[in-house]
Amino acid sequence: MVVSVEYIPMTPIEYPDEDGKPMAESDQTREYLLYSVKVLGTYFQNRPDVYVSGNLFIYYEQGIPESVVAPDVFVIFGVENRQRRSYKTWEENGKTPDFVLEITSKSTRSKDQGAKKGIYAFLGVGEYYQYDPTGDYLNPPLQGLRLVDGNYFPVVTTTLADGTVSLPSEVLGLELRLKEGKMRFYDPATSQTLLSFEEQASARQAAEQARQAAEEKAQRLAAKLKELNIDPDDI
């Protein structure tokens, strides 16, 4: 007897690249998200094995699209530095983020301090930082956690002489600094703050203006000395 078996095609599991929600709920949140992704991407640009991204879906259980998280900013060591529409851990040798930064807000605070914190610990995220640009929901506004034996413990905070709050990131080899409510990454090896392209352009413009002002001042001084029959080159 011939038994006829009906073939039922398997429906491919979909892993969406977006959820239709805006990237950030406020200008401040978006500003720091973009700043962090850009400067960290530039800092690690010569490392082909370091992936920096943000606001990207990370799927961490194959076959279960609901097992997803989207950190504001994250860094992963040991994977190819290339663009992705989403990040699936089973396609990346099981690698999960080593560093995460959430730009927290009124609407995300409970998730950032609750569900996401648990997920990041489960995924083995070595360092989890939170920053509240408005200073309304986190006290202090910049906080860091480091994973030790599966549990998060606070990163020691240092307050510098000028009031700047500094938290070291062992994972990145950088510091997260908060000065007058403004968060920036700082490289202790070069004693330089990591600036955005706009900040770099502004700094170059300010330096050029200062150079021109000094040159004009020197020219005026030379002209005055000549009026007094003094050769500037003799001074």
Cα(1)–Cα(189) distance, rounded to whole angstroms?
79
Measured from the Cβ of residue 140, the count of other Cβ atoms closer than 10 Å reads 13
Three-point CA angle 8, 91, 115, nearest 5°:
95
DSSP character at residue 123: H
Contact between 96 and 123 under an 8 Å Cβ cutoff? The reply is: yes
DSSP character at residue 234: G
Contact between 169 and 175 under an 8 Å Cβ cutoff? The reply is: yes
Total-model pTM: 0.79
Q: What is the pLDDT along the chain (235 residues), one digit of tens a residue?
A: 455 555 445 567 888 777 656 555 566 788 999 999 999 999 999 999 999 999 999 999 999 999 999 999 999 999 999 999 999 999 999 999 999 999 986 655 556 566 899 999 999 999 999 999 988 888 899 999 999 999 999 999 999 999 999 999 999 999 999 999 899 999 999 999 999 867 766 555 545 555 665 666 766 776 776 777 777 666 6
Cα(72)–Cα(24) distance, rounded to whole angstroms?
9
Tell me, what's the pLDDT at 8?
46
